């Protein structure tokens, strides 16, 4: 969530306070229409009324604005969060990837995308039920979260797939991250009946070669690399 999003409630409260100035202004206009006299004289003659209308309206609209801002933040967070894992969802991931891709192009830095697929999830669902599959999905989500740097962005891509956006990360560094993830998943023993594993496909935008024109091309390349990892035996990392 961006800094602006986190401060949305404050902005809404401030906007409510600014709008509240219209209440005493409207009262002044009405009185001037029905009983014209100098504005200064009107305000000074009934300043308590104008002050009360101003502060009461500021208070009410600021509270209302704050509440609306909080609600807007909560709705935005819900729309971008995967219910099962608590990770950001595909929509949030694509927004972050677009932002990081633009930043990489602008500043000439690399950005890597890792697509992660859980091996054997369908088989687990068929044999042990979807509750067991859900536990495995949550476990992989936890393993991914534990390995994220502060600048990285992990999300559930959908179904049995996750994704990680890694800014300022070369192809070599991304491969190392993918291999560490494989080790974490294996160590966690997420499926008590059989070894757990994931397959990882990686694509990297490097300004030095400009291999990918946009984020969609980066996603396609990572997806193709993931396919090769799955068909090549699973439990491995393949880079585009």
Tell me the per-residue pLDDT of 9-29, one tens digit each, with 9 for 90 and over: 677 777 766 776 666 676 667
Q: What is the band of 72 on the pLDDT scale with cuts at 50, 70, 90?
A: low
Classify the C-alpha dihedral 172-228-165-178 as positive or negative: negative
What are 88's strand-pairing partners? 81
What are 113's strand-pairing partners? 165, 203
- Check whether 1 has a pLDDT greater than 50: no
Comparing CA positions, the residue from 153, 40, 188, 157 lying closest to residue 91 is 157
Q: What is the band of 4 on the pLDDT scale with cuts at 50, 70, 90?
A: very low
- Check whether 201 has a pLDDT greater than 80: yes
Q: What is the pLDDT of residue 74?
A: 66
**Domains defined for the chain, CATH in brackets:** 3-79 (no CATH), 90-239 (3.30.70.270)
Quick one: DSSP state of residue 88?
A: B
Q: How many residues does the chain have?
A: 240
Q: Give the angle subtended at the CA of 155 by the CAs of 178 and 117, to the nearest 5°.
A: 50
Catalytic residue annotation? 160
- Check whether 3 has a pLDDT greater than 50: no
Highest mean pLDDT among 53-62, 91-100, 183-192, 205-214: 91-100
111-142 pLDDT tens trace: 999 999 999 888 888 888 888 889 899 999 99
- Check whether 238 has a pLDDT greater than 90: yes
């Amino acid at each position: 969530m961006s800094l602006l999003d986190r401060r949305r409630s404050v902005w809404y409260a401030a906007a409510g306070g600014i709008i509240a100035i219209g209440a005493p202004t409207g009262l002044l206009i009405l009185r001037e229409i029905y009983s014209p006299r100098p504005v200064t004289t009107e305000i000074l003659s009934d300043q308590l009324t104008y002050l009360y209308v101003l502060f009461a309206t500021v208070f009410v609209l600021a509270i209302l604005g704050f509440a609306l801002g909080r609600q807007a933040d909560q709705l935005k967070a819900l729309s971008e969060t995967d219910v099962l894992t608590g990770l950001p969802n595909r929509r949030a991931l694509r927004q972050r990837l677009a932002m990081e891709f633009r930043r990489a192009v602008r500043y000439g830095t690399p950005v890597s995308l890792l697509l992660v697929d859980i091996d054997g999830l369908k088989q687990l669902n068929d044999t042990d039920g979807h509750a067991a599959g859900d536990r495995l999905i949550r476990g992989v989500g936890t393993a991914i979260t534990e390995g994220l740097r502060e600048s990285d962005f992990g999300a559930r891509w959908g179904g049995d797939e996750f994704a990680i956006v890694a800014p300022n990360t070369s192809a070599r560094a991304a491969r190392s991250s993918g291999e560490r993830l494989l080790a974490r998943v294996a160590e966690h023993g997420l499926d008590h009946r059989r070894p757990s594993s994931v397959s990882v496909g990686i694509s990297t935008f490097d300004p030095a070669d400009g291999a990918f024109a946009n984020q969609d091309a980066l996603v396609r390349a990572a997806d193709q690399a993931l396919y090769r990892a799955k068909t090549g035996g699973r439990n491995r990392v393949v880079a585009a």
